[in-house]
Amino acid sequence: MIVGAAADLLVTTPMSSLTNAVVAAQAGISERTVYRHFPTREVLFAALACEVAARIAAPEVPGSIEALPGYVHALFARFEAHAGLVEAALHSDLFPSMRDGQAARRWKALRRLLREAFPTVPTATVDGAAANLRYLLSATTWRYYRQQFAFDAARTERCVAEAVTIILTALRTGA
């Protein structure tokens, strides 16, 4: 209830204004109750980062290389469905926790998938490709294409899926 109220507020309230008093009011409880469950701002924000990740519910990296271009749609659809929450998380103290949690797991899964699929390609090349894919398959990239290039959701997905395909083709052909 407390963390849910904080997540609801995150979309409309800057992190600097997300105080225990504001969260308590949103949750309909006393500020003391918030402190009882979350004695520090850091503890509340750690729980909030988990809640945001759960609400966004980004899909797991697929188990095959062939499915990676299609994964762009599944992942970016989640970002679109929770655009306000994603935007708020990218511009807040939550970003490091989110990057070090869910995004780090995505990087490890991508690296493992590529190493298994391309065992004869030098590890440094595979790891570089995994790093590029990890960046492409991120909320940061989604937001950048949507805001900086003013692409709609479909065009954003197409461009990123194309880039994913180019990277995979380069690994397959040794280019």
Same domain, 43 and 74: no
Same domain, yes or no: 37 and 113? no
159 CB contacts (<8 Å, ≥6 apart)? 145, 151
Count of the separate structural domains present in the chain: 2
Q: Which of 52, 67, 86 finishes a domain?
A: 52
Q: Which of 19, 36, 52 is the C-terminal boundary of a domain?
A: 52
Asked whether residue 29 falls in the same domain as residue 70, the answer is no
- Whether residues 68 and 145 share a domain: the answer is yes
* Shared-domain flag, residues 152 and 76: yes
**Average pLDDT of the segment spanning 113-125:** 95
**27 and 81, same domain (yes or no):** no
Q: What is the pLDDT of residue 9?
A: 86
Residues 73 and 159 in one domain: yes
Do residues 43 and 53 make contact, with C-beta atoms less than 8 angstroms apart? no
- Same domain? For 136 and 71 the reply is yes
Same domain, 9 and 73: no
Residues 143 and 64 in one domain: yes
Q: Are residues 42 and 92 in the same domain?
A: no
Host domain of residue 27: 2-52
Are residues 48 and 69 both part of a single domain?
Answer: no
Distance from C-alpha of 88 to C-alpha of 148, rounded to nearest angstrom: 17
Q: pLDDT tens, 128-155?
A: 999 999 999 999 999 999 999 999 999 9
What is the mean predicted confidence (pLDDT) over 18-32? 90
Which residue is it, tokens 């511009």?
Answer: 91
| DSSP string covering 21-50 | HHHHHHHTS-HHHHHHH-SSHHHHHHHHHH
Q: How do residues 92-104 score in pLDDT, each as one tens digit?
A: 677 777 767 777 8
- At residue 91, the pLDDT reads 73
Q: CATH no. for residue 17?
A: 1.10.10
Among candidate residues 14, 19, 12, the one with its CA nearest the CA of residue 34: 19
List the alpha helices (DSSP H) in the chain: 2-10, 20-27, 31-37, 41-56, 68-81, 83-90, 95-98, 104-117, 123-136, 139-147, 153-173
pTM attached to this predicted model:
0.85
Distance from C-alpha of 110 to C-alpha of 162, rounded to nearest angstrom: 17
